[in-house]
Amino acid sequence: MEKVLEVKDLKVSFQTYGGTVQAVRGVSFDLHKGETLAIVGESGSGKSVTSQTLMKLIPMPPGKITGGQILFNGEDLVPKSDKEMESIRGKEISMIFQDPMTSLNPTMKVGNQIMEGLIKHQKVSKADAKKRAIELLKLVGIPMPESRVNQYPHEFSGGMRQRAMIAIALAASPKLLIADEPTTALDVTIQAQILELMKGLQDKLDTSIIFITHDLGVVANVADRVAVMYAGQIVEIGTVDEIFYDPKHPYTWGLLASMPSLENDGNDELAAIPGTPPDLTNPPVGDAFAPRNKYALAIDYEEEPPMFQVSETHFAKTWLLHPDAPNVEPPDAVKQRIRKMSSNFDKPVLVKEGK
């Protein structure tokens, strides 16, 4: 399948009064056409910074890309200027933000906010742009789009605003859509509708999607693959089945064990991961997760684990996959769900530097 995006060893840091925050510390992944990649992880793990860096939307300064490549259709975005990025933002890559209440301009009509991108990227006339804006509003399921197009955001409900945001993002039919927790601020029924809408549109337009979320339950519904982030790194990445039914990283175990599910509602306690994420101004030596990890090995405190490849699509960054590592059992909540993956290699393979 055609690769739309390839991120290689991306590093981003922020200069703050307290020192340099290494928000993203060597993230690599790729994304194919029409595919949905979910990025999950605790608050502060660098999901938003990673995704905004793909469009170079992080404020620079204080932010800075300190290393790596962002290959979009084979072209590296990192060295591009702001001016050059303008023809990519909104046209090739679009973004939907978390809070629909604040991500629309309150003093501009919703229609105009959709039209802006069209006029900029597709060089259409104002009248045509308006026609298209009405079509888009209809496409995202807003009733009476002809009158809604002339309204202001405060006249829309939260769910409708997020639909309008999707219309804005899709206006120029981008190849990649980044959705940063698009449903977190919405109530559950609206969430389901918005997810349904995004999936439907993806099928129609064949867009690739990066879907950022806290909610593992949502992931199973929308994603093809999942990347688990911790302290600015991807610690495990694989297909949805691999992550849900054959997770290898103790942090992923922790996330899965703390996920409420229908089977264990209320019976067993949710196993929250103890402790807090590390301070990214001074990332610890070794594995950043070690202090919170009850499976941590001695080496975890000394040397950062390398990436091990478990199958063609499944990678995990933990010493537990090393041939010399002791055999450990995941927590019960996770063990119950483990399935044998036929696609797994015989043994995890150490990935050489540079992947």
Ligand X SMILES: Nc1ncnc2c1ncn2[C@@H]1O[C@H](COP(=O)(O)OP(=O)(O)OP(=O)(O)O)[C@@H](O)[C@H]1O
**Structure tokens given for 165:** 């945001």
Place of tokens 């990066």: 210
**Residue 82, binding choice from ligand X, Mg ion, other proteins, none, Cβ under 5 to 8 Å by partner class:** other proteins
Q: Which is nearer to other proteins, 150 or 276 (CB)?
A: 150
Q: Which is nearer to ligand X, 180 or 246 (CB)?
A: 180
In terms of Cβ atoms closer than 10 Å to its own Cβ (0-12, 13-18, 19+), residue 30 is middle
Q: How far is CA 255 from CA 182, 189, 243, 282, in A?
A: 20, 24, 11, 24
CB of 42: closest distance to Mg ion in angstroms? Answer: 10
**Residue 16, binding choice from Mg ion, other proteins, ligand X, none, Cβ under 5 to 8 Å by partner class:** ligand X
What is the separation, in whole angstroms, between the first and last Cα of the chain? 19
Q: Which residues contact 278 (CB under 8 A, 6 or more apart)?
A: 231, 284, 288, 291
Q: Which is nearer to ligand X, 228 or 257 (CB)?
A: 228
Strands 233-239 and 315-316: antiparallel
Among 49, 118, 134, 168, binds ligand X (CB under 6 A): 49
Segment contacting ligand X by CB under 6 A, of 59-67, 77-85, 156-164, 267-275: 59-67
CB of 227: closest distance to ligand X in angstroms? Answer: 12
**Coil/strand/helix, residue 349:** strand
CB of 83: closest distance to other proteins in angstroms? Answer: 8
Segment contacting ligand X by CB under 6 A, of 56-64, 117-125, 148-156, 344-352: 56-64
Q: Scanning residues 14 to 53, which ones bind Mg ion (CB under 5 A)?
A: 48
Q: Which is nearer to Mg ion, 174 or 182 (CB)?
A: 182
In angstroms, the CA 230 to CA 250 distance is 11
Q: Is 206 left (phi over 0), alpha (psi -120 to 50) or beta?
A: left
Alpha helices in 228-312 (DSSP H): 240-245, 250-257
**Residue 190, binding choice from Mg ion, other proteins, ligand X, none, Cβ under 5 to 8 Å by partner class:** none
**Residue 247, binding choice from ligand X, Mg ion, other proteins, none, Cβ under 5 to 8 Å by partner class:** none
* Contacting residues toward ligand X, per CB under 6 A: 14, 16, 21, 23, 41, 43-49, 59, 62-63, 214, 280
